[in-house]
């Protein structure tokens, strides 16, 4: 959720109209994927989720901030749910794909 919040804050502060647009698409898509994951998780494990989202501050390079978020997701994905729960891991893969795609758009396209 913090990555979504950082992207939303950066969305208001980028100078490129293209980056403004792709960051908006990113945080909208990420919100949908997080909601999908939470519903899947609750359905599979039969318990509600109550994540703690740290206060969001953004300053600096948005691509670097989102790269750090992606590294966190990759590091902890198997602690969040079992590697054998392929439907949940598939949704995490979709989230990773979204992060990788935004990295390309922020770093390679202007």
Lookup: tokens for 46: 């039969």
8 Å CB contact between 8 and 27 = yes
The band of 42, judged by pLDDT with boundaries at 50, 70 and 90, is: very high
**Chain centroid, CA 13 distance in Å:** 19
**Chain centroid, CA 45 distance in Å:** 22
Lookup: tokens for 33: 């994927």
Mean pLDDT of 84-101: 97
Q: What are phi and psi of 14, to 5 degrees?
A: -80, 150
Please state the pTM of the whole predicted model: 0.87
Mean pLDDT of 33-53: 91
Q: Where are the domains of the chain?
A: 2-44+61-108
């Amino acid at each position: 959720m913090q990555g979504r919040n950082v992207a939303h804050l950066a969305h208001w502060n980028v100078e490129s109209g293209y980056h403004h647009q792709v960051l908006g698409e990113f945080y909208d898509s990420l919100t949908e994927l997080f909601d999908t994951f939470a519903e899947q998780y609750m359905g599979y494990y039969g318990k509600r989720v109550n994540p703690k989202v740290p206060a969001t501050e953004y300053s600096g390079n948005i691509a670097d901030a989102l790269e750090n978020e992606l590294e966190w997701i990759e590091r902890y994905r198997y602690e969040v749910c079992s590697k054998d729960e392929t439907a949940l891991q598939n949704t995490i893969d979709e989230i990773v794909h979204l992060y990788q795609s935004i990295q390309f758009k922020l770093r390679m396209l202007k």
